[in-house]
Amino acid sequence: MEKMSHPNDFFPATRLRRMRYQAFSRRLMRENRLSTDDLICPLFVIEGHKQQQPVASMPGVYRLSLDLLLKEAEVLLDLGIPAIALFPVIDPQQKSLDASEAFNPDGLAQRSIRALKQAFPELGVITDVALDPFTSHGQDGLLDAQDYVINDETVAVLCRQALSHAEAGADIVAPSDMMDGRIGAIRKTLESNGHINTRILAYSAKYASSFYGPFRDAVGSATNLAGGNKYSYQMDPANSDEALREIALDLQEGADMIMVKPGMPYLDIIRRAKDQFGVPTFAYQVSGEYAMLKAAAQNGWLDERQVVMESLLAFKRAGCDAILTYFAKSAAQWLNS
């Protein structure tokens, strides 16, 4: 485009389009960037050997036996992904009312942590601290006679679970249960057992969201939960100030990083959290968000690469330091290509 004369005497004092005119100046003024350093890949592990089960509501996501999980971890590491988040899928017979499998030193999660850290010491391993994969009712904690999730008794079990993960070599424990006071209790447990460098990623602002549906299919807690809900401990999607209170408490209690979950519908919470606290702030682009984008892409309604990269960049713009996403591997491949 060359010189143009004004069609009339008017011209805008500021032309923001000038900087958008060519790729080089768009690049120079770009405020946010996604890199492989920002990505955390969630992985589902199952018992067995050479087992790979597709998750129906999450096309492209598989539950993997440990041998295949290790191969996948190596691929992710080679792509430059710093860390994975591990989710065990427990045999129904091992689920119980007291969730004791959660802190079995030889449980699936604990064995997987040990194998991952032994094979790839430089790959960060994040573990989920919550009881829902281990309870016969699919709730994140222990129940009283009225089926109410009891807080302090649950926290005691979460401490044992977190300690068993740290002992197995977990780098980061991530309580996703939303019990009150659990960060402080877990921090005290870790410190008094010599695990001073085990980091805590607190799912501080975890909402009672319907976007977790495909995840509950993946770990098999959906059928156990059968019509139940998590409204008495996860946050009401209507609230925003309350998220800041949750985060403030978790930081006081010793969290190293905080998390907002779900992701895309809650970018406002991420921004408020980052502005107010300025601490490492993570978000979880959850299973339902993955399913939505994937389904639209598979129908040819959206361009998968474009919308996934745009959604991940939006997390950065909102103030996220890192993002848990089932698109981690694809995004890393696109970033490296």
Q: How far is the CB of 276 from ligand PBG (least distance, A)?
A: 24
CA distances from 150 to 40, 177, 185, 202, 221 (A): 31, 12, 15, 19, 19
Q: Name the residue among 239, 165, 201 with its Cα closest to residue 323.
A: 201
Q: Is 188 a catalytic residue?
A: no
Please identify, using beta-carbon distances, which residue of 12 and 285 lies nearer to ligand PBG: 285
Q: SS3 of 84, please? A: strand
> DSSP letter at 237?
T
Q: Least distance to ligand PBG from the beta carbon of 286, Å?
A: 3
State the binding string over 156-185 for ligand PBG (x if CB under 6 A, else -): --------------------xx--------
CB atoms within 10 A of CB 2: 3
Q: 236-242: long-range contacts at Cβ-Cβ below 8 A with a sequence spacing of 24 or more?
A: 236/207, 236/208, 237/207, 237/208, 237/209, 237/265, 240/268, 240/269, 240/272
Q: Select from 6-14, 126-134, 179-187, 235-243 the region that touches ligand PBG (CB under 6 A).
A: 126-134
Q: Is 246 in the site for ligand PBG (CB under 6 A)?
A: no
- C-alpha separations of 273 from 177, 181, 237, 256, 258 in Å: 19, 19, 16, 14, 9
Among 128, 246, 250, 253, binds ligand PBG (CB under 6 A): 128
Q: In the complex with ligand PBG, which residue's Cβ is closer, 112 or 287?
A: 287
Find the shortest distance in angstroms from Cβ 2 to ligand PBG.
52
**For ligand PBG, which is the closer residue by CB, 203 or 272?**
203
Q: Which stretch binds ligand PBG (CB under 6 A): 14-22, 63-71, 74-82, 209-217?
A: 209-217
Query: Is 261 designated active site?
Result: yes
* Measured distance CA(324)–CA(172) in Å, rounded: 14
Residue 140 in the binding site for ligand PBG (CB under 6 A): yes
From the candidates 3, 50, 95, 206, which is the catalytic residue?
206
Choices 2-10, 101-109, 124-132, 193-201 (CB under 6 A): range interacting with ligand PBG: 124-132
Of the residues 103, 207, 212, 266, which one makes contact with ligand PBG according to CB under 6 A? 212
The catalytic position among 50, 117, 230, 261 is: 261
Q: How far apart are CA 40 and CA 18, in angstroms?
A: 37
Give the three-state DSSP class for 45.
strand
CA 209 to chain centre: 14
* Minimum distance from residue 217 beta carbon to ligand PBG (Å): 10
Is residue 286 within 8 A of residue 244, CB to CB? The reply is no
Q: Which stretch binds ligand PBG (CB under 6 A): 66-74, 161-169, 211-219, 291-299?
A: 211-219
Q: Which of 57, 287, 311, 325 binds ligand PBG (CB under 6 A)?
A: 287
CB of 171 within 8 A of CB of 123? no
Binding residue (CB under 6 A) for ligand PBG from 55, 115, 172, 286 = 286
Residues in the chain: 337
The three state secondary structure string of 126-154 is EEEECCCCCECCCCCCCECCCCCECHHHH
Q: Which of 38, 101, 132, 171 forms a contact with ligand PBG (CB under 6 A)?
A: 132
Nearer to ligand PBG, 179 or 244 (CB): 179
- C-alpha dist (Å) from residue 36 to 208, 329, 334: 29, 9, 10
- 216 vs 294, beta carbon nearer ligand PBG: 216
> Catalytic residue positions?
206, 261
Which residues sit at the interface with ligand PBG, rule CB under 6 A? 128, 130, 132, 140, 176-177, 212, 215-216, 286-287
